[in-house]
Structure 1
Amino acid sequence: MDIKDDDSSSNTNFFNGTFTSHIARQYNSSPSVIVIGGGISGLAAARVLQNASFKVILLESRDRIGGRIQTDYSFGCPVDMGASCFMLFGIDGKQVPQQTVVEVGDAFRKILKETEKVRDEHSQDMSVQQAISIVLDRYPELRQDGLADEVLQWYICRMEAWFAADANSISLKTWDEETVLSGGHGLMVQGYYPVIQALAKDIDIRLNHRVLRITNGYNKVMVSVEGGRNFIADAAIVTVPLGVLKANLIDFEPKLPEWKVSAIRDLGMGNENKIALRFDNIFWPNVELLGVVAPISYACGYFLNLHKATGHPVLVYMAAGSLAYDLEKLSDEGAVEFAMLHLKMMFPNATEPAQYLVSRWGTDPDSLGCYSYDLVGKPTDVYDRLRAPLGNLFFGGEAVSMEHQGSVHGAYSAGLMAADNCRRHLIKRLGSLEMMQVVSSREEILENAVPLQISRM
């Protein structure tokens, strides 16, 4: 059955099933699915279902696909604004001795190891920051003074960037449960756009279609978008960011049950922003990261050096947690000035950027954050509840991936899982459809495309 674009169906008729007479299933027709959200999770789900001969339509609120993956080419090279050896400098502009960096790094790893004992000793959850404080009280020799303490704060800053949240919000119980992909961290030299293109090929994608309501009715799902149009199909997959669900920007009819609402509430939505700067000349050393240490992690900062990987004179300033939100209160010019203050601490003769880009994921109405993280006190079954289907409604997105939470790969795998669950549900409900050739292996989808063994940076 094709997906219906219907402007006339009332909710009453939809719920009691009387509308089905004019969209009755034709003999041996393929099931239909609406995928909501054009990020990598939604695209992966749509790709699986289309390859399995389902009728698929993808609705995306933005004027582009990719969601929180955004590759910008305005610098003349790809710069990923969404989704290593390093050199640190003090606020006085002097380089931190490498021996200090190594020694404090070793101490930080010991501190994190000791937090495991703190976790074992306490039945109730606490924040990572609180656990670090307990460890330092127990082992004063792990405390750092002066410049060394500023380097320790920089390591905490890097940890906060991993979760896009402040250390006093991150759950001690689960902070280290994520399964990190093999091969270490990497940089997509060509950007993520080739991956997005490969997934989106030949899929019916409707851009600028902001979903306002999802009605889960009599063996059908109706999705209402801004402007009054309705789309009706056998099932739907919701892959919108957790921030959108937390803000209740989509109405569900019937209302989501409390166990689903609490699952949305029990996960945090972090924020990380990037300020990309393109220069006319190179004035920095050829290392992957350039960092500024400070007395508190909030004041620390670091730049990712794209020149080392791409050959283009681009530095990207990274800000996470409360700092990322505070930067969004500034104009683009103000944010660039803030980043340049950090850069000039390291390199007083730094030139002004020829071009710049500033992300604002925390206030972007299509995301309202960067990626999810575990809040202190998060229930153990929150991921099961978040991804659990409701009738003909299925859920994807990076937030439902416990193994690779907050990562591109997590979003991708969650989309595959949601599509597979949806496919099995519809085949069981509608009967065996022999003419459907289901993809036998999930990994075959991108066999000749771009590798996805990339995690958060």
Structure 2
Amino acid sequence: MAQNLKYANTGTNSQVSLLELSSVDHTCFYIEQVLSGGHGLMVQGYYPLVKAMAKDIDIRLNHRVKRIANGYNKVMVTIEDGSNFVADAVIVTVPIGVLKANLIAFEPKLPEWKLAAISDLGVGNENKIALLFDKVFWPNVELLGIAAPTSYACGYFLNLHKATGNPVLVYMAAGRFAYDLEKLSDEAAADFVMLQLKRMFPDATKPVKYLVSRWGSDPDSLGCYSYDLVGNPADIYDKLRAPVGNIYFGGEAVSVDHQGSVHGAYSAGVMAAENCRKHLMERLGSGDKIQLVSCREEILEATVPLQISRM
């Protein structure tokens, strides 16, 4: 149970609030509004989805935002090279880790209730070490778990060969363990993972290639996804997603029902965009007074064909 809790929330067990859990007949489970269809793995990654959604949209890459100035009718966004963009409103969907680190300066400063909500939400870390081999030497199962004396050193391998046909295992590390792995070089991290694998398969071959993530130290993420800290106030999500003037907030951290998930980030973004649109219609006199969209009225429309493996 402790290990499942760590991976589901990417935080340490002592930090995660038990308000996220319920107990029935001594069995703990997450209070989460699960979408129908079960879990699936995107065989081609998220690129097909991103490509379809980005069609006909002006997207600027490598534009790291450093400052957002909130005026009466306009918002000015300043990026790293000093260039400015002016708009009627802005939707902020950066990871919660970036907001917690104050890497974006807001002018005027965000109100205390907003800063408290950002501070009160936890952000965890989960890293992956992908290993490509020249052949498969493991059984055709979805996961290969590692038992350890403490939950700190526990981990598991995701078998991508079962889903994609490629001889790839992905080692998953979460919580404090994930941060400690980031202190190692890519080679040292891969060597450590191979030691764990050889305990299960002594004849395991060396990987042909490996890829190591570092979400905890990546300046564009500073963590993986959010979770409830012990003692969080009940209205934290209301405050997180509440707009401040012409600035709106989206992302997985503001999704009550689907926190820490891609569909949660998407639906929260749709909600923020719709609320922003209605706000501008009211301000510009293009419509009657309209209530803001509730987080539980998020609408998902699946229009992109995707290759999904149920493992």
Q: TM-score w.r.t. structure 2 length?
A: 0.91
Larger mean Cα displacement after TM superposition, 195-204 or 265-274: 195-204
Task: Work out the CA distance in 2 between the residues paired with 1:419 and 1:216.
Answer: 17
For residues 158-187 of structure 1, the C-alpha deviation after alignment (integer angstroms, 9 at most, x for no partner) is 331111111111101124332222222111
Task: Work out the CA distance in 2 between the residues paired with 1:165 and 1:442.
Answer: 29
Q: Which residue of the partner structure matches residue 167 of structure 1?
A: 13
Q: Which residue of the partner structure matches residue 170 of structure 2?
A: 316
Task: Work out the CA distance in 2 between the residues paired with 1:221 and 1:449.
Answer: 36
Residue of structure 2 aligned with 1:295, choices 149, 152, 155: 149
Give the partner amino acid of 1:199: M
**Bigger proportion of residues as helix:** 1
* CA pair 452-340 structure 1, distance change in 2 beyond 3 A: closer
Aligned residue runs from structure 1 range 247-396, under 5 A:
247-396=101-250
* CA pair 241-452 structure 1, distance change in 2 beyond 3 A: farther
Task: Work out the CA distance in 2 between the residues paired with 1:299 and 1:328.
Answer: 14
Residue of structure 2 aligned with 1:187, choices 35, 41, 57: 41
Unpaired runs of at least 5, structure 2: 22-29, 288-297
For residues 316-350 of structure 1, the C-alpha deviation after alignment (integer angstroms, 9 at most, x for no partner) is 00000000000000000011011101100000010
Q: Which residue of the partner structure matches residue 426 of structure 1?
A: 280
Task: Work out the CA distance in 1 between the residues paired with 2:309 and 2:228.
Answer: 23
Give the partner amino acid of 2:303: E
1:385 Cα deviation after fit = 0.1
Task: Work out the CA distance in 1 between the residues paired with 2:304 and 2:256.
Answer: 27
Residue of structure 2 aligned with 1:239, choices 80, 87, 93: 93
* CA pair 451-180 structure 1, distance change in 2 beyond 3 A: farther
CA contact (8 A) 1:183 1:453 kept: no
CA contact (8 A) 1:398 1:406 kept: yes
Please state whether the residue corresponding to 1:204 is helix, strand or coil: coil
Task: Work out the CA distance in 1 between the residues paired with 2:286 and 2:309.
Answer: 35
- Please give the root-mean-square deviation of Cα atoms over the aligned residues, in Å: 2.0
Please state whether the residue corresponding to 1:268 is helix, strand or coil: strand
CA contact (8 A) 2:49 2:304 kept: no
Task: Work out the CA distance in 2 between the residues paired with 1:224 and 1:201.
Answer: 25
Q: TM-score w.r.t. structure 1 length?
A: 0.62
Please state whether the residue corresponding to 1:384 is helix, strand or coil: helix
1:448 Cα deviation after fit = 3.9
Aligned residues: 294
**Bigger proportion of residues as strand:** 2
CA contact (8 A) 1:273 1:361 kept: yes
1:431 Cα deviation after fit = 1.6
Give the partner amino acid of 1:394: Y
CA contact (8 A) 1:409 1:453 kept: no
Q: Which residue of the partner structure matches residue 25 of structure 2?
A: none
Give the partner amino acid of 1:217: G
Please state whether the residue corresponding to 1:205 is helix, strand or coil: coil
Task: Work out the CA distance in 1 between the residues paired with 2:309 and 2:232.
Answer: 28
CA contact (8 A) 1:276 1:356 kept: yes
For residues 16-75 of structure 1, the C-alpha deviation after alignment (integer angstroms, 9 at most, x for no partner) is xxxxxxxxxxxxxxxxxxxxxxxxxxxxxxxxxxxxxxxxxxxxxxxxxxxxxxxxxxxx
Q: Which residue of the partner structure matches residue 303 of structure 2?
A: 447
Please state whether the residue corresponding to 1:378 is helix, strand or coil: coil
Task: Work out the CA distance in 2 between the residues paired with 1:451 and 1:301.
Answer: 27
Residue of structure 2 aligned with 1:230, choices 84, 108, 117: 84
Please state whether the residue corresponding to 1:276 is helix, strand or coil: strand
1:450 Cα deviation after fit = 3.6
Give the partner amino acid of 1:156: A
Task: Work out the CA distance in 2 between the residues paired with 1:299 and 1:326.
Answer: 11
Task: Work out the CA distance in 2 between the residues paired with 1:177 and 1:250.
Answer: 33
CA contact (8 A) 2:42 2:306 kept: no
Q: Percent identity?
A: 70
CA contact (8 A) 1:306 1:314 kept: yes
CA contact (8 A) 1:271 1:369 kept: yes
